[in-house]
Amino acid sequence: MESNTVREASFVSPHGQEDGSRPQAASGAATPSQERKPKRRSRKPAVFRVILPVLAGVLFLALWELQVIHKIFDLKKYQLPLPSAIARAMGDNMSLLLSYTGYTLTEAVLGMLAGSLIGFVIALVATAWPRWGGGSLTLVAALNAVPIVALAPIMNLWFGDGLGSRIAIVTATTMAAMAINAYKGMAAIHPLALDLMHSYAAPKSAVFRHLRIKNSLPYVFTALKINATASMIGAIVGEFFFSSRGLGYLLSNSIKVAKMPLGWACIVLAAIAGVIFYLVVERLEKVFIRWHPSRRAS
């Protein structure tokens, strides 16, 4: 007896192969109209990226204020002041702290600009004349290996105890990152792009201007972001030795007279200034190299 059930119609593919069902229905794949519809981006990850770090910071400060961290590491309050004491020290000395923060930030910015400029020129020379300029990268790397505490007395003898000596220290500590990163960006160009420039008989200056320097810009901004934080360290450590102003000078004196909350206030403001400096460089990166594939993908 013939069954009353309706037999499902077989689907014949355009290649003439018979299939048991339509492929989209069977696989659950989206129809073309569904594929064209833009997917709604979930806001949960963005919310968690903000809320979770804030909650973690609040929890850390609460444990610090309740002296849980002191009990864990067996610390006294004069060794690790409470956040409330640091906040009071910041409020009582806000005008002095802001003035010294601006002084230290000036040293860091000027030194970083000078060091980054010199490092970029060194990378240009090393790329254009590798036989003569290649050794300069080694010399810059060797200079970067010298500790700041060894550079500070020398820079003080050369440039005096004013602003110039700290700028020189920051310059010496930020050259290597720029030179090495910029050189890598200028050297790591696509061979086909270089062949195309040579096929047009482009001069060496045009290859540098349109290909090598443009390709090095992402590496240059990476070096600037590294130097943004390294310059603050160089400026503050340089102020430990020969200075009458700045966060490093105030931090050193605060520790000597046992004013630890004021010393920690200097550390907090130095960290805030470093983060702001870094964010400014990152914003400039988004503005100047928005054409780069790495920025378009983000």
Cβ atoms of 179 and 137 within 8 Å: the answer is yes
Tell me the three-class secondary structure of 221-281, residue by residue.
HHHHHHHHHHHHHHHHHHHCCCCCCCHHHHHHHHHHCCCHHHHHHHHHHHHHHHHHHHHHH
Same structural domain, 200 and 172? yes
Question: Among 249, 218, 242, which Cα is nearest to 169's?
Answer: 242
Same structural domain, 257 and 243? yes
Same structural domain, 140 and 211? yes
pLDDT of residue 273: 92
Residue 98 resides in a domain = yes
pLDDT of residue 289: 81
Same structural domain, 230 and 128? yes
Same structural domain, 181 and 51? no
Same structural domain, 172 and 248? yes
pLDDT of residue 5: 42
Same structural domain, 74 and 215? no
Domain boundary among 80, 105, 125: 80
Domain range enclosing 52:
47-80
pTM tops 0.85, yes or no: no
156 CB contacts (<8 Å, ≥6 apart)?
165, 241, 242
What is the domain count for the chain? 2
Same structural domain, 199 and 123? yes
Same structural domain, 202 and 287? yes
pLDDT of residue 2: 42
Tell me the three-class secondary structure of 170-235, residue by residue.
HHHHHHHHHHHHHHHHHHCCCHHHHHHHHHCCCCHHHHHHHHHHHHHHHHHHHHHHHHHHHHHHHH
Q: What is the pLDDT of residues 187-206, one digit of tens each?
A: 988 889 888 888 888 888 88
Domain boundary among 80, 101, 131: 80
Q: In tens digits, what is the pLDDT along the chain, a chain of 298 residues?
A: 444 444 444 444 444 444 444 444 444 444 444 545 555 555 566 667 788 888 999 999 999 999 999 999 988 888 899 999 999 999 999 999 999 999 999 999 999 999 999 999 999 999 988 877 778 888 888 888 888 888 888 888 888 878 888 999 999 999 999 999 999 999 988 889 888 888 888 888 888 888 899 889 999 999 999 999 899 999 998 888 877 889 999 999 998 888 899 999 999 999 999 999 999 999 998 888 877 766 665 5
Domain boundary among 57, 80, 103: 80
Question: What's the CA angle centered on 180, arms 120 and 168, to 5 degrees?
Answer: 60
Residue 32 resides in a domain = no
Cβ atoms of 208 and 128 within 8 Å: the answer is yes
152 CB contacts (<8 Å, ≥6 apart)?
165, 169, 237, 238, 240, 241, 242
110: left (phi over 0), alpha (psi -120 to 50) or beta: alpha
- Structure tokens, 155: 């820079």
Residue 37 resides in a domain = no
pLDDT of residue 203: 87
Cβ atoms of 178 and 220 within 8 Å: the answer is yes
Residue 6 resides in a domain = no
Same structural domain, 207 and 280? yes
